[in-house]
Each structure stands twice: as structure tokens, then as C-alpha cells.
Structure 1
Amino acid sequence: MSRYCSQCGKSQKACICKWIQRLTSNVELVILQHPSETNRPMGTARILKLSLANSHYFVGEDFSEHEALNQLLSDHQYHHFILYPGEGALTHNQVADKLDNGEKVRVILLDGTWKKAYKMWQLSSNLHTLPLIKLPENLQGNYRIRKAPSDNSLSTVEAGYHILSLLQPEHDFSPLIESFNQMIEFQIKQMPPGVFEKNYLQ
């Protein structure tokens, strides 16, 4: 028997599959993951990948010549947006108008630290012409077991949850956050006494 789960890739002891719920979404997520994130035991992109059947997941740094991604981007039945708070980024309400008109939408998430996500965007020339979409600035993350540059920094699964919920308020995407919170609580319980308080509550 393998030490690792064939579905989530985590060790059998830390398997998150028992917390995953399959969800449907009219908005498709395209997750572009930096290679440094693939083996992180507390990475959250896998929750989106496992929960959303119509999500797309690719690993790399420069996606300019990525065949599968370029095939998606060439599908003109979809409007493609990058979730990134750059200049001129659209609000969720502006993008939701397209859904209200029956148009199809894909949102690209860059999975990496801010520095690495920016580098991914810089290198991937095929992303430069795509419009940006941003989340409200008052959202706060709950990624308690990973250092964040600010209180409103979000993990990838939190960002995915919020953008899907804002674009499709009639759908319940809370199982994404529930799976995330269960994973966090499990990891905290594995830490020696006092480690979480010393390293993450200061």
C-alpha cells in the first residue's frame, strides 16, 4: 500500500479526501501553479482541483508556449480573466454581468507567493492581453499555518472560494472553506505543544 493518497497526493495520514465535496460551478477555474508549490504539504490549490470537476490545473513558471493552456485561451466561447489586483482590474460585478447575459467565463488563478505569481505573469506573454479581475480589499484570510505579508492575504483556495461566491451568489461554495479549515486544524494538531502559538500567533 502506498504511503501517499493517489487522489490528493498527501500522505495517507494527512489525506484530505474525506473532507472534499464535489461542487458544480458555471465559472471555470484555471489554476496555474508555480513548481515550488507542488510539494508543499499545506498547499491549498489541490482542494480546488479535487472539488471542482471542471477546473483546470497546470504546473509551470512560463506558460507562454503551454499547449493545453493556449488551447483553452483560444476557445472564444469563453471570456478569460486573471485574478490579480493590477491597474485597471475589473470588479466582480463587472464580470458577473457577462454571466447574467449567459456568457461563459473562466478565471485564472496564479498559485504561488506574491513574488512568484508576479514572475509567472511577467514570463507568460500569453496572459498579458487578458483582462484582470480583483477581489474586494476587505477580505481576510485564515491561513494560520503559513506566514502571510498582510492580514488580507488569501490562500489559493480562499481566493477561489471568494471569486466563485461573488460571481455566483446563488451557489454554495462553503465546502471549499470547510475543507480548508479541516486541513488547517489537522496540521495544527500535528505540531508539538507550543509550536503553533510561538511561530504563528505573534
Structure 2
Amino acid sequence: MYRYCQKCSKATKACICEWISPIRSNVELIILQHPSEEHRPMGTARILSLSLSNSVTFVGEDFSDHNVLNELLAEQDVEHVILYPSDSSIEVKEAVSANKRTRIILLDGTWKKAFKIWQVSKNLQGLKTVHLPKDLKGNYRIRKAPSENSLSTVEAGYYLLNQLEPQNDFNSLLVAFDKMIQFQIDQMPPGVFEKNYLS
């Protein structure tokens, strides 16, 4: 018996595979994951990578010389944008081209870790930065967030895809996310969730 699921990499008891549904999307996702997130029990990027066959995850901090990523960024027939709320970022709908495939880069980590990836990865600096609508609210109930509109990586991916492909159903991403959170809450001793996260 494996201690960790061979597919989702989470502890066997906390395996999320039963909640994952394959989703087809024209938009491609590149997830740049900070090493501190790779084995985090509540990491949500794995939901995206398991659900979307056209997503890819790279782990690291400085991606400047990442050969595979740079090969992808060099593809001329693809519009590359990065979800990062910079001073010059624009709404995601305004950044994509009807004549090119769209590939969106997500930074997976705390705000501090995501900023570090953005700061040191020189190959990201020339990309268009995009942001989501400011009124979105996250549902990461068991992780303290800097503000109520902070989103987990899977929520950010869901809203991006929903904005760009409203004709498709991406709700299974949020279903898997919610079930993963509820499982963790159910493992807590009585009163711990209420005391630490609802107060």
C-alpha cells in the first residue's frame, strides 16, 4: 500500500482523484509552482493539472533559463500572458488574440513567493500581465488569505477559463476544490475550524 497516491501525489487517505473530472479547454495553462507548494497537503494547482490535459506544471523559483518554458514562450503562433496584477495589467479578455492560441501562465505560491518568481524570472518580464475582475471572492476556507478576494490557484484557473470560454462548463474544478477542503475540515478535532478560521 502506497503512502501517497501515485497520481495526485497527496496522502492516500486524502487522495483527490475521485473528484477529478477531465475537462477540455482551448486555453492552455502553464503553472509555475514555487518549491514550497509542491508537497503542500492543500495545494490546489494539482486539481488543474489533473483535470486539464493541456496544462503543464514546472517547479522552481527562477525560470529565466528553464529550457522547456523558453521553448514554449518562443512559439510565435501562441499568445502568452501571465496572471499577475501589475500596474500595467489589463482584463484578461482584452489581452487575448482571436488569431492565436492562448496560453496563460499562473504563479502558484503565496503572494510573497509568487512575487519572487515574477521578480527573478527575466523571461516573464516582457509578457502581457492580466488580472481578473476585482470583485471575485475566494473560498479557501482553511487558509488565511491577505484579503477576501484572494484566490487559490485552482480558483484563479477556473475564473480565467470561465472568462475566456463561457460556453464550456468548468464547475468540476470548484467541486473538487470544495470537496478537498471539506475533507480537511472533517479531519480537524471539534471546534478547531470554527476557532481558527471563522473567528
The RMSD of aligned alpha carbons is 0.8
Per-residue deviation, residues 95-133 of structure 1 (Å, max 9, x unmatched):
35x2xx242010000000111101100000000000001
Between 81-90 and 150-159, the greater mean CA deviation after superposition: 81-90
CA distance in 2, matches of 1:103, 1:71: 17
The residue that corresponds to 1:173 in the other structure is: 170
Aligned-partner SS, 1:159: helix
CA distance in 2, matches of 1:25, 1:84: 21
8 Å Cα contact 2:95/2:128 also seen in 1: no
Gapped regions of structure 2 (runs ≥ 5): none
CA distance in 1, matches of 2:9, 2:28: 23
Whichever residue aligns with residue 19 of structure 2, its letter is W
CA distance in 2, matches of 1:8, 1:139: 27
Q: How does 1:24-103 map to 2 (within 5 A)?
A: 24-96=24-96, 98=97, 101-103=98-100
Gapped regions of structure 1 (runs ≥ 5): none
Query: TM-score, normalised to structure 2's length?
Result: 0.98
CA distance in 2, matches of 1:160, 1:93: 14
Whichever residue aligns with residue 15 of structure 2, its letter is C
Query: TM-score, normalised to structure 1's length?
Result: 0.97
Whichever residue aligns with residue 196 of structure 1, its letter is F
8 Å Cα contact 1:164/1:173 also seen in 2: yes
Q: Percent identity?
A: 61
CA distance in 2, matches of 1:62, 1:187: 32
Per-residue deviation, residues 135-191 of structure 1 (Å, max 9, x unmatched):
000000000010101100000000000001001111111100000000000000000
Q: How does 1:114-193 map to 2 (within 5 A)?
A: 114-193=111-190
- The total of aligned residue pairs comes to 199
CA distance in 2, matches of 1:59, 1:187: 25
